[in-house]
Amino acid sequence: GARQQTELCNESLMLEKLPACGKSFEEMMKKVDSKKWCNLTEFITYYDNFTQCTEREANNASCFWPNPLAEGFITGIHKQFFSNCTSEKVHWEDPPDEILITLILIPVMLTCAMITLVVWCSKRSDIL
């Protein structure tokens, strides 16, 4: 029968090849205004190419992807290009008192009305 041969991950080969992916991504990102680096739609194709390159190089070195070494490399690229991209924190505020009271009272009143209806119907079981 045919024997399946499994190859071990050649981490040093992978780490040797991944910088070429980073260099290519860096060259592509030069086409994008650095003020737009936080807008993914501006460079999504470049990032996709970068991701495919890292996956291809990991696979060529018989390594699974993602793996801790590749993730570390990708994280380094993220720090290089996207360290200033922080998500804006949403500041939650309570609604005005009139709206808050309405939002509280409507379910309370509906609950009371439903209880009243159930009690009234249970006392008038002779009609139902």
User: What share of residues in the chain are helix, strand, coil (percent, to 5)?
Assistant: 65, 0, 35
Establish if 1 belongs to a structural domain: no
Establish if 101 belongs to a structural domain: yes
Provide the residue range defining the domain that includes 62. Answer: 11-82
Q: Are 39 and 87 in contact (CB under 8 A)?
A: no
Regarding whether 121 and 60 lie in a shared domain, the answer is no
Establish if 87 belongs to a structural domain: no
Three-point CA angle 99, 103, 104, nearest 5°: 120
Regarding whether 70 and 100 lie in a shared domain, the answer is no
Amino acid at 96: P
What would the pLDDT profile of 26-51 be if each residue is shown by its tens digit?
999 999 998 899 898 999 999 999 99
Establish if 6 belongs to a structural domain: no
Regarding whether 100 and 61 lie in a shared domain, the answer is no
| Whole-model pTM over 0.75 | no
Regarding whether 122 and 77 lie in a shared domain, the answer is no
Establish if 37 belongs to a structural domain: yes
Q: Are 47 and 54 in contact (CB under 8 A)?
A: no
CA atoms within 13 A of residue 85's CA, in its CB half-sphere: 12
Buried b / exposed e along 18-28 (16+ C-beta atoms within 10 A): beebbeebeee
Q: How confident is the model at residue 91 (pLDDT cuts 50, 70, 90)?
A: confident
Based on the structure, what is the number of domains in the chain? 2
